[in-house]
Amino acid sequence: MVQRTKTRARFLASRYTDPTSQVSVPSSPSNGEYLINLSIGTPAQPLALTLDTRSDLIWTQCQPCLQCFSQPLPLYNPSNSSTFSDIPCDSDLCQSLPHSACHKQCVYAYSYGDGSLTAGSLGSETFTLGSTQIQKVSFGCGFLNAGIFQSNESGIAGFGRGPLSLISQLGYGKFSYCFTSFGESKSSPVLFGSAADLNNWTSGKVQSTPLVTNPAVPTLYYLTLTSITVGTTLLEIPKSTFSLKDNGTGGVYIDSGTGMTQLAEPAYKQVKLAFLSQMKLPIANSTIEAFDLCFRLPSSSSEKVEVPKFTFHFEGADFELPTENYMAQNPDNSTLCLVMGKSLDGSTVIGNFQQQNVHILYDLERRKLSFVLARCDQL
């Protein structure tokens, strides 16, 4: 009994992370996604992982690899690390995987909404975030990985609300990020614990809205969106458009891994009609397939173009987007397009394009999401 008690205490102490410690990792944009840079193993091996609040599993490509996509960094090699160990099949984390099996160790298959997937074994390793080392973090060692991986990543860091995610395993209780503009190569910090306090980083007005849990999809960060304003017009969108249904469909959630915002169809129709009526420019065809609504810009660059404001009205908070967070010029500068689309499943997803230069705090302990406009490259 004494031996078990001491062994368990040592294990818990090795996993403990001080919630008052100042922990951060750099993030930077890459082909429509945001990568965080950290290291794992002893000695440390560098990783660049996509920050994804829509999933839980942390994973990286590993040697030996049966099928791997191209990445700039060397593949992580567990045999070169003195702190790597396999996760046993009967562990709680192995059992929490959506698809797992036992083959001497815990093996998994994990898929994503865009059809990408990873398969491998679940392991434990020392993670280095900035100058902070955290021992015994569980992660996927992927030896069969396929899909849309074109952002120079090594894998994905799940930041969801499930037990496998990075934020859940670290135990800090809150984290924040501030995404720099897509067109910049500048980095900004992802902050954990007390370092994530928005008041430490800005003098602007911080607003907050409750985080909502969807029992059918508990990983995601759902929000209560009540309405949308375009220009000075509060759109007539039925409240049921943004509500969670009893079967777990619908609702509104924020996602760092989705590019542009996808609105439920009734909302998108109203938004599109509002821009069509308020923009004083002729409609144009887009050369980019993803853009549904575009306008022809004046031939003279000196002619002023007025764009109506766009505001999400959340419970307790109004999120007025900067113009560059919902309108974008095509590369030839001849058209101006609305960077939003219509969702295919009835839900509404707030994508990372709309989150540029907004410092966003996920407070899991208080179950709220806070945000404030910021110059993220100056944090």
Q: Would you give the end-to-end CA distance of the chain in angstroms?
A: 50
Write out the H or E segment, with its range, that includes residue 221: strand 221-223
Q: How far apart are CA 255 and CA 233, in angstroms?
A: 27
- Closest C-alpha to 127, from 97, 170, 156: 170
Rg (CA), the chain: 22
Phi, psi of 101 (to 5 degrees): -150, 170
CB 167 within 8 A of CB 13: no
Q: How far apart are CA 367 and CA 119, in angstroms?
A: 32
**List 255, 318, 332, 377, catalytic entry:** 255
CB 204 within 8 A of CB 282: no
- The single-letter DSSP state of residue 172 is -
Q: How far apart are CA 261 and CA 326, in angstroms?
A: 9
**List 18, 52, 90, 114, catalytic entry:** 52
Phi, psi of 126 (to 5 degrees): -85, 125
Whether 90 is catalytic: no
**Whose structure tokens read 């309405």?**
227
Whether 56 is catalytic: no
Q: How far apart are CA 84 and CA 214, in angstroms?
A: 35
Q: How far apart are CA 317 and CA 207, in angstroms?
A: 6
From residue 373, give the alpha-carbon distance in Å to each of 147, 154, 185, 198, 205.
34, 30, 19, 10, 8
**Residues recognised as catalytic:** 52, 255
